[in-house]
Amino acid sequence: MFRDGAARAITGDAGGSVDFGSGLSNFRRSHSAAIQPKWQASVLMKVTELLSLRPGWDSYSAPVLKHDAAMFAMIVLQNVMKPGTPEPSVVPSSTGGVQLEWHVKDIDLEIHVLAPYQGEIWWCDRATGHESSVQLSKDLSVLSEPINKMSA
Amino acid sequence: MTSRPPRLPSFDRPPVTEVVLSLQFGMLGAMTSPYIGYLWARFRDRYPKVTEQLPVDAFFETFGTPPIAQQPTIRFEQLTGPPTIRYWFESADETSLCQVQQDRLIHNWRKRDSEYPRYEAVRAELVKDLETFEEFLQSEKLGALNFNQSEISYINTIDLPGGDDPHGAIEQVISTWSRLDGVDRDLEDVVFRARFLMSKDGVPNARLHVNLTPAIRTTTMAHVVQLEMTYRGKPEAEDRASALKLLDEGRAAIVVAFADMTTPEMHDHWGRTDV
């Protein structure tokens, strides 16, 4: 499920040398799999179910969820989830994306992933009335505040 | 062909053994296996060999959160349908390799008996691949390329002058490394990984990954170290020019970082020409 982002994975042993580090990479992968948090398997299962939806699954003309949108949603979660963060609800959107939702501890947070780097982040702190809405992009720092509040 | 930017570090005999230029784009779900024969027909003059490989995972750099050990990589299409394939189209001398899968086009230059032709020549080959690929997609009505990630890697295979073993002597290769061995304690080998946030106008826009591993050169069984440097990020826009521009920026960043991280003695060994 995990890998290092190295060119070697693209090309194999094209450089004409044997890499002693590959054993370490294999160990790292096994170790990562063994210690992965519970939300990963659960969210992965839900997202995989959504990928099997047929066009028009909403009785109208909703397109299917795209694989790269699903992958990007997993990457967003991997980057922002903390040990105490509740697992999000995972729902399909009628525009072909996936929505990750939390409604806990006075925080409403919705991340709508339409495609890699495309979509919307909306969150509201019901205790203070603060509300924020931004476009999803490569910068995920906007998620720190609502995630921290939910994970406390 | 683009020209080499001025003031970049340059070497007569760089230790690079492979250069990988990769463009990732929105998935072309309609580009299924039966169409690939039509693509090979267009590629066959340049790439007479074709083989099938497992696909490379999609990868997306993000910023603004604490670094994670590893990005999750899941090929959802493998979970929901028949396996997808990455196709290797190879030149007769195996130096050039064009790789195609539903969400990537990759061009590799691999050192065989030839000298490194320089980045500009490798990039020109990628552009040729891209033009052929886009003509094929248009002709078969398989969709358009919306680039979401550009990635460039240099793989350097480094030996020491005089044939000494570099595994325990990394300080002779890497300028910031200090000797760690002492009385009755000899360093045998080192593996290290470093990641650098690369910013433009103060805003992170790419990441430079550096991996150093001990290795053995299969042709001579000599001990070497392999220094892999990968620069990856999201292009400013989804068009081809933006995707190629990020590769150019990555090349410059890698060459500068390579010169910064390696020792003047090794620069002499590789014939540095810009100083």
* DSSP letters spanning A74-95: HHHHHHH--TTPPPPEEEE-TT
A62 and chain B: CB distance < 8 Å anywhere?
A: no
- Say yes or no for a CB contact (<8 Å) between A75 and B72: yes
Task: Locate the domains of chain B by residue range.
Answer: 16-270
Q: Which residues of A touch B20 (CB under 8 A)?
A: 7, 10-11
- Say yes or no for a CB contact (<8 Å) between B211 and A40: no
Residue A11 lies in a domain: no
Please classify residue B203 by burial: count the beta carbons closer than 10 Å to its beta carbon, then call 0-12 exposed, 13-18 middle and 19+ buried: exposed
Read off the pLDDT of each residue in A99-109 and give the average, rounded to a whole number: 95
Q: Name the minimum distance, in Å, from the CA of B41 to any CA of chain A.
A: 23
Residue A54 lies in a domain: yes
The answer to whether residue A18 scores a pLDDT higher than 80 is no
Distance CA B246, CA B126 (A): 14
Report A:94-133 residues touching B (Cβ under 8 A).
115-117
A72 with A99: CB under 8 angstroms?
no
From the list A7, A20, A68, the residue facing B153 with the nearest CB is: A7
Tell me the pLDDT of chain A averaged across its residues. Answer: 82
Higher pLDDT, A96 or A128: A128
B228 with A21: CB under 8 angstroms?
no
From the list A11, A51, A143, the residue facing B76 with the nearest CB is: A51
Which of B62, B106, B109, B217 should we substitute to test contact with A (largest number of A Cβ atoms within 10 Å)? B62
Distance CA B209, CA B195 (A): 5
Residue A31 lies in a domain: no
- Say yes or no for a CB contact (<8 Å) between B211 and A4: yes
- Say yes or no for a CB contact (<8 Å) between A5 and B230: yes
Q: What is the mean pLDDT of each run of 10 residues along chain B (275 residues)?
A: 82 96 95 96 96 92 84 69 90 96 97 92 98 98 97 95 84 86 85 93 94 90 94 96 98 97 95 91
The pair of structure tokens assigned to B149 is: 């990630």
**Tokens 């929505």 found at:** A99
The answer to whether residue A8 scores a pLDDT higher than 50 is no
- Say yes or no for a CB contact (<8 Å) between A139 and B214: no
Residue A22 lies in a domain: no
B20 and chain A: CB distance < 8 Å anywhere?
A: yes
From the list A29, A78, A139, the residue facing B71 with the nearest CB is: A78
Residue A58 lies in a domain: yes
Q: Looking at this predicted complex, what is its ipTM?
A: 0.84
Residue A10 lies in a domain: no
**Alpha-carbon separation of residue B19 from A36, B110, B151, B250, B268 (angstroms):** 33, 7, 11, 12, 22
pLDDT at B167: 87
Report B:141-200 residues touching A (Cβ under 8 A).
148-149, 151, 153, 155, 157, 189, 191, 193
Distance CA B275, CA B266 (A): 14
pLDDT at A22: 54
pLDDT at B195: 94
Which of A28, A35, A66, A67 should we substitute to test contact with B (largest number of B Cβ atoms within 10 Å)? A67
Number of domains in chain A: 1
A:B CB pairs within 8 Å: 174
Domain residues for the domain of A77 are 38-151
Q: What is the pLDDT of residues A50-96, one digit of tens each?
A: 988 888 888 888 888 888 899 999 999 999 999 889 999 999 998 88
Residue of chain B whose Cα is closest to the Cα of A144: B65
β-pair partners for A113: A98, A119
Which of B211, B223, B242, B247 should we substitute to test contact with A (largest number of A Cβ atoms within 10 Å)? B211
Strand order in the sheet with A98-104: A89-92, A98-104, A107-115, A118-125, A130-135
Phi/psi at B85 (nearest 5 deg)? -130, 145
pLDDT at A19: 55
The pair of structure tokens assigned to B115 is: 């000298």
The pair of structure tokens assigned to B164 is: 């000494």
Number of C-beta neighbours around residue B63 at 10 A: 21
